[in-house]
Structure 1
Amino acid sequence: MDRQQEFVLRSVEERDIRFIRLWFTDVNGSLKSVAVAPAELESAFSEGIGFDGSAIEGLTRVSEADMLMRPDPATYQVLPWRTDAVSGQGTARMFCDILTPEGTPAASDSRQVLKRVLARAADAGFTFYTHPEVEFYLLADDARKTGVPVPIDSGGFFDHVARGEGQDFRRQAISMLEAMGISVEFSHHEAGPGQNEIDLRYADALSTADNIMTFRTVIKEVAIQQGVYATFMPKPMAGQPGSGMHTHMSLFEGDRNAFHDPGGQYGLSKTGRSFIAGLLHHAHEITAVTNQYVNSYKRLWGGDEAPSYVCWGHNNRSALVRVPMYKPRKAGAARVEYRALDSAANPYLSFALLLAAGLKGVEEGYELPEPTDEDVTRMTPAERKVMGITPLPASLDRALTALEASDLVAETLGEHVVDYLLRDKREEWNQYRAQVTPYELRRHLPVL
């Protein structure tokens, strides 16, 4: 038994932890959980906990149903909202890796998919760091029942709403996140009414993905406590900004930022330029994962600084990839920002594909096109064509077609995950396409 496992067992006893929740994420990005008693922990660490994998969306076939979940002791944290105020008895959680009965990593486990790509980056000498800006809406509590999104305020970007519910919400959420060891960089009201943003600090990509899954749970829990409804839906209201997860990324070689070159354009090294080129080259193929819902394309093509076209720039928030210059003389701050991700995306699969695309650019020496400094959405189609700027997929259907044809996605996610995503998301698209929408009824019923 290693030291981390011993620490967990000792903490469980000393803090009177009565239940340990074992968490993992399915292919769709939904959090799954099972609670075990403290007496089961030692065998969970050594042997894993058996479960029916065929009951989890996209995990395995019925003929391969027996699976194991093995907790990662490095992710042990006490859940602040599950501690009894009177008795002090608590509940903790750990993220799990999913294994076959033989003890090998399950190819369809989202966390394992990311680990595989991180291992490939490590073999090349790189550590991958990410920093997400997570947006979400706070709505009236009955939004889920009524299907009508009513924001809790009418604030806008950076607005200070006196005694606003959003401020109290963010303060409580951040306190809860920090109690779980998740560092927050800053928070503010976003551009939409009732829309908020909380930015997590830089961390290695696996920790960040775990933190995002915890973040979503914390936000939902605090919303319940405060009598509001929190949603990460990409575009809950027409005419208002969607909720994205702009993600800053960098590669480090030891303590050196591989993206930094003080003599390069925008302080970018050749590695940084090739990494961006890889993101641009493979953007169409990975969009069905970074933006996996039919509603995602309402956000991407709805304006409000959401990226619709494949290009990069410096101070250009209409670009898909941006090179921020907040601290140009600080080598460690060199990074690139990918602006397409939804805050509802599966962070493990998304980070895996972003890293794989960037590494492909580095390995193959992709050439980076010229940056675009003007608003791409205001260009004419002819102007964009001359500059070689192509649109992102305009629908989930088009994104799935690009994903299906991608060697990069197949190599990164594996056959099982790709097959499941194609089946599940095509079913979502077919169901969406069959709907008769309120818009169609308002426009056509009175006159046709």
Structure 2
Amino acid sequence: MAIDVFEPHPIVRVLGKPAADFTAADLVRAIEQLGLRQVNLRYVGGDGRLKTLAFPINSRDHLVEVLIRGERVDGSSVFATDTATSDVYVVPRHRTAFLNPFGERPSLDVLCSFYDETGKPLPYAREQVVRRAAEVLAQETGMTLEAFGELEYYLVDEPERIYPVEEERGYQESSPFSKGERVREQVLAHLSAMGVPLKYAHGEVGNILEEDRQLVQHEIELQPVPVDQAADNLVLAKWVVREVAAAHGLEVTFAPSVSGEGAGNGLHIHSRLVRDGASTIVGGDGINDIGRRLIAGYLSAARALTAFGNTVPTSYLRFADGNESPGDICWGEKDRTGLVRVPLAWNGDVLPGMVAHANPGSTETIPEPAPHPQTVELRLGDGSADVHLLLAGMAVAAKRGLADPDSLELAERLSTAKEGEFEQLPTSCAESADALEAERGMFEADGVFPGALLDAVVAGLRDAEEAAPVGELAHDDAAREEFIRRHWHVG
């Protein structure tokens, strides 16, 4: 097949086929042609971080064995499971292969899935949870949930004398006033070459100046893909940001709260439902009833979803601090006050006039993207989110919203266009744990979330609350700063 001349993925260019069609034999051929000397099997652990198992290439037979069979690993160390049944398998997903941009040796990296001793998907493995959630949603509705994240992070450095940072003035600022633009550009280049679809990157509002350091906020926005791929892409994006920042001698943090002043890091998730290549959440007048049911599903499960999207005490400091952090469980179109936002999408009626005004005399055809670019933005998560579990939870909530006959009434009642009081998100890890316990039946249904996994999430939240009651942190500056540092490298 013909490959787009702009295709950034070197393995796609070498093989002349899309990544979705990669086989083990294809990867062997790419390794030969690119002169690679190592294969890294990558997987997401119980802490939501990317792990690595490195294999030197000893022979063709060895290479084929690694790429097809994978390896066994100690599941008890990966997921804190029962040590008596610790051995599990990791099996490569060939479509995820990419060239490692950071290793000492030229290497091929492949993401893996977990399986138990009987060959069945390991139920508490992150990628299997979100995959199962997506499958159940598709089976029951005929629709695919696509998603992408807005990944915010801070780069931390010494204050600069030349073109000094201005507090809270970082939004889409350009160099030299923006600090870290080279980091952003290198991150974009690496992720694109790894096959992660990106929309853009820019400076974010949060510039924070302290005595001995400056914190400059940035954001990467990805492109919509099925939720299981969206979760993997966010984990890869965090890894790449950290690697590039370290190469520049900079510290990076995705923490939900980074200072006594200024905004923390959110992780807003956009989503849409797609059937046969077309969006099902929009109609002639914008967001339609399916879109409203999707919103209602998210809002009805919002308190429980914080258990996956807001996992540390400083998450709830961020909510309390405001700075566009949501609190009310409601939704609106275009405004930024609701937990769910329907952002401005390209309007086919007004676009021709704008294009003609910006480009007088132009006769170019205006392309119509498919699916329609309209999304629904859930503004709940932050940088501590366990992204696979959060996206799996969103798929579960979407299924409930689509099936519940009262969803449209709920969406109407929780609109910001209505007057009245709205229910609030949890204000602490303990409240979040209680909310998950109350809704656990929804998440356990259809074998999506294993009970033991939910138990572990609840226990982790309760332990975190005992270590740092949020009410105390709000009134003790020293304790607050100590806990901000303790949760500095989350996710």
Band of TM-score, shorter chain: 0.7 to 0.9
SS of 1:319's equivalent? coil
Once the two structures are TM-superposed, the CA of residue 46 in structure 1 deviates from its matched residue by: 4.0
Question: How far apart, in 2, do the equivalents of 1:48 and 1:441 lie?
Answer: 49
TM-score of the pair, normalised by structure 2 = 0.79
Question: How far apart, in 2, do the equivalents of 1:372 and 1:166 lie?
Answer: 38
Amino acid paired to 1:284: R
1:403 aligns with 2:436: yes
Aligned to 2:424: 391
Q: Which of residues 65, 68, 80 is equivalent to 2:86?
A: 65
Residues 163 and 306 of structure 1: CA distance in aligned 2, closer, same or farther (over 3 Å): closer
Query: Superposed, which structure 2 residues align to 1:359-398 within 5 Å?
Result: 359-365=399-405, 366-367=407-408, 368-370=411-413, 372-373=415-416, 384-385=420-421, 389-398=422-431
Aligned to 1:167: 181
Aligned to 1:336: 376
Residues 304 and 100 of structure 1: CA distance in aligned 2, closer, same or farther (over 3 Å): same
Query: Superposed, which structure 2 residues align to 1:311-330 within 5 Å?
Result: 311-329=330-348
Residues 259 and 441 of structure 1: CA distance in aligned 2, closer, same or farther (over 3 Å): closer
Once the two structures are TM-superposed, the CA of residue 43 in structure 1 deviates from its matched residue by: 2.6
- Contact kept, 8 Å, 1:250 with 1:257, in 2: the verdict is yes
Moved more, 326-335 or 238-247: 326-335
Residues 168 and 43 of structure 1: CA distance in aligned 2, closer, same or farther (over 3 Å): same
Aligned to 1:127: 144
Question: How far apart, in 2, do the equivalents of 1:70 and 1:369 lie?
Answer: 46
Aligned to 1:17: 36
Aligned to 2:325: 306
Residues 62 and 300 of structure 1: CA distance in aligned 2, closer, same or farther (over 3 Å): same
Q: Which of residues 444, 461, 468 is equivalent to 1:425?
A: 461
Question: How far apart, in 2, do the equivalents of 1:292 and 1:26 lie?
Answer: 16
- Contact kept, 8 Å, 2:144 with 2:273, in 1: the verdict is yes
Aligned to 1:379: none
Question: How far apart, in 1, do the equivalents of 2:251 and 2:284 lie?
Answer: 46
Question: How far apart, in 2, do the equivalents of 1:153 and 1:219 lie?
Answer: 23
Once the two structures are TM-superposed, the CA of residue 158 in structure 1 deviates from its matched residue by: 2.1
Once the two structures are TM-superposed, the CA of residue 44 in structure 1 deviates from its matched residue by: 3.5
TM-score of the pair, normalised by structure 1 = 0.86
Per-residue deviation, residues 17-64 of structure 1 (Å, max 9, x unmatched): 222221111233122221123354433444331111111234x31121
Question: How far apart, in 1, do the equivalents of 2:131 and 2:177 lie?
Answer: 43
Where structure 1 has 5 or more consecutive residues not aligned to the other structure, the ranges are 143-150, 377-382, 444-448
SS of 2:384's equivalent? coil
Q: Which of residues 173, 184, 194 is equivalent to 1:180?
A: 194
SS of 2:117's equivalent? coil
Q: Which of residues 415, 420, 436 is equivalent to 2:451?
A: 415
Residues 277 and 436 of structure 1: CA distance in aligned 2, closer, same or farther (over 3 Å): closer
Aligned to 1:262: 284
- Contact kept, 8 Å, 2:428 with 2:470, in 1: the verdict is no
Question: How far apart, in 1, do the equivalents of 2:117 and 2:56 lie?
Answer: 22
Query: Superposed, which structure 2 residues align to 1:120-269 within 5 Å?
Result: 120-123=136-139, 124-140=141-157, 154=167, 155-162=169-176, 164-193=178-207, 194-263=216-285, 267-269=286-288
Residues 245 and 398 of structure 1: CA distance in aligned 2, closer, same or farther (over 3 Å): same
SS of 2:90's equivalent? strand
Amino acid paired to 1:16: G
Question: How far apart, in 1, do the equivalents of 2:33 and 2:218 lie?
Answer: 37
Residues 423 and 152 of structure 1: CA distance in aligned 2, closer, same or farther (over 3 Å): farther
Amino acid paired to 1:99: Y
Question: How far apart, in 2, do the equivalents of 1:104 and 1:429 lie?
Answer: 35
Question: How far apart, in 2, do the equivalents of 1:44 and 1:79 lie?
Answer: 17
- Contact kept, 8 Å, 1:285 with 1:409, in 2: the verdict is no
Question: How far apart, in 1, do the equivalents of 2:262 and 2:477 lie?
Answer: 22
- Contact kept, 8 Å, 1:310 with 1:391, in 2: the verdict is yes
Once the two structures are TM-superposed, the CA of residue 317 in structure 1 deviates from its matched residue by: 0.5
Question: How far apart, in 2, do the equivalents of 1:132 and 1:184 lie?
Answer: 10
Question: How far apart, in 2, do the equivalents of 1:129 and 1:111 lie?
Answer: 15
Aligned to 1:147: none
Once the two structures are TM-superposed, the CA of residue 205 in structure 1 deviates from its matched residue by: 1.7
SS of 2:326's equivalent? coil
Amino acid paired to 1:176: H
Per-residue deviation, residues 254-297 of structure 1 (Å, max 9, x unmatched): 1221101114xxx1222111111111111111111111111111
SS of 2:37's equivalent? strand
Question: How far apart, in 2, do the equivalents of 1:112 and 1:439 lie?
Answer: 41
Moved more, 271-280 or 427-436: 427-436
Amino acid paired to 1:187: A
- Contact kept, 8 Å, 1:127 with 1:254, in 2: the verdict is no
Amino acid paired to 2:181: Q
Once the two structures are TM-superposed, the CA of residue 206 in structure 1 deviates from its matched residue by: 1.8
Once the two structures are TM-superposed, the CA of residue 434 in structure 1 deviates from its matched residue by: 10
SS of 1:351's equivalent? helix
Residues 31 and 441 of structure 1: CA distance in aligned 2, closer, same or farther (over 3 Å): closer
Computed over aligned residues only, the root mean square deviation of the Cα atoms, in angstroms, reads 2.5
Once the two structures are TM-superposed, the CA of residue 174 in structure 1 deviates from its matched residue by: 1.0
Q: Percent identity over the alignment?
A: 26
Per-residue deviation, residues 210-265 of structure 1 (Å, max 9, x unmatched): 111111111001111111111111111122111111111001011221101114xx
